[in-house]
Amino acid sequence: MRLGVIDVGSNTVNLLVVDAHVGAHPLPAFSHKIELRLAENLTPDGNVSPDTAARLEGFVQECLGVAEDQGVEDLMAFATSAIRDAPNGDDVIAGVAEATGLGLQVLEGTDEARMTYLAVRRWFGWSSGRLLVVDIGGGSLEISTGLDEEPDVALSLPLGAGRLHRDHLRGDPPSAEQVAALRKHIRAQLARELRPVLRSGRPNRHVGTSKTLRSLARIAGAAPSDEGPFVPRALSRTDASDIVARLRTMTVAERSTLPGVSSTRAPQLLAGALVAEAAMDLLSIESLEICPWAMREGLILRRLDHLEG
């Protein structure tokens, strides 16, 4: 059967269509997306603007038509931190429901972490032992660790690349003082929250997901996406630090010329690199293996589990 997931993320709204069968891995069949950059384009009081809400309603309606054309039998729709944290998030969800008839389910941050962890566990398998998973989104950072399909620890912190860029970095490029202040802010927030992760046991495998980490790995020399999902890709702590040093003096236009970096992602890349460097430092991670599956795939896998049941 064909399953579809509409994921309203902090950067991108994406319809992912997969051919899914119990006992088989979800096979991507079609993707339809738009970059709304919700985490960066909020009003000064943190609300989703009327124009952005209208664009979201129009795109969700468009996704419903695409899903029908693609033969989707089961469609799920989820929103993450940008909608969850916006004061008018409930109004935005109500507007989408009224305009399209589709109800968006808002995922809590810990559920984002859990679903991403599930996807990583299924991708790498039981032989990986204890996993530690780092996921840098536009609005939040998720960290999870465990031995089973449910993590022992699942954290969600307001350290997404888009959010941090919007709130802390001005100028193109930002000043050295701004970068230093953001670096201190990230590390202080992380250090306050990491105790449960550090006490949970030594991981056998360290894994990173998300477009931010994939872009950083690509800058460091990882294979491009057109070589397929099964090519091993990784980001070392040394490479993360080197990339931070490069990005802090580059303009947005210069960043967008780097391999694997789109013009829409370029503004927030420095903030994302600072988060990656901090997480790897404070968690003593020498290298992150990049997993092509993340939260969307975790949601699909969980849905398949329920269908089997």
- Residue closest to 108 by CA, chosen among 87, 79, 128, 133: 79
Tell me the per-residue pLDDT of 16-65, one tens digit each, with 9 for 90 and over. Answer: 999 988 777 889 999 999 988 887 778 989 899 999 999 999 999 999 99
Please report, for the domain that includes residue 8, its CATH number: 3.30.420.40
pLDDT range class, residue 1, cuts 50, 70, 90? confident
- Whether 278 and 160 map to the same domain: the answer is yes
Domain identity same for 102 and 147: no
Q: pLDDT tier at 308 (50, 70, 90 boundaries)?
A: low
158 in the same domain as 73: no
| pLDDT tens-digit map of 240-255 | 999 999 999 999 999 9
The answer to the question of residue 276 being in a domain is yes
* b/e burial code for range 261-275 (CB count within 10 A of at least 16 → b): beeebbbbbbbbbbb
Do 60 and 145 lie in one domain? The reply is: no
Q: Are residues 51 and 180 in the same domain?
A: no
pTM for this structure? Answer: 0.94
In whole angstroms, what is the distance from residue 157 CA to residue 159 CA?
A: 5
- Residues 58-95: tens digit of each pLDDT: 999 999 999 999 999 999 999 998 899 999 999 999 99
pLDDT for the residue 304: 87
Pair 166, 209 in one domain = yes
- Residue 177 and residue 99 in one domain: no
Count of structural domains, the chain: 2
Question: Rounded to 5 degrees, what are φ and ψ at 79?
Answer: -125, 150
The residue range of the domain holding 190 is: 125-295
Is residue 45 within 8 Å of residue 103, measured between CB atoms?
no
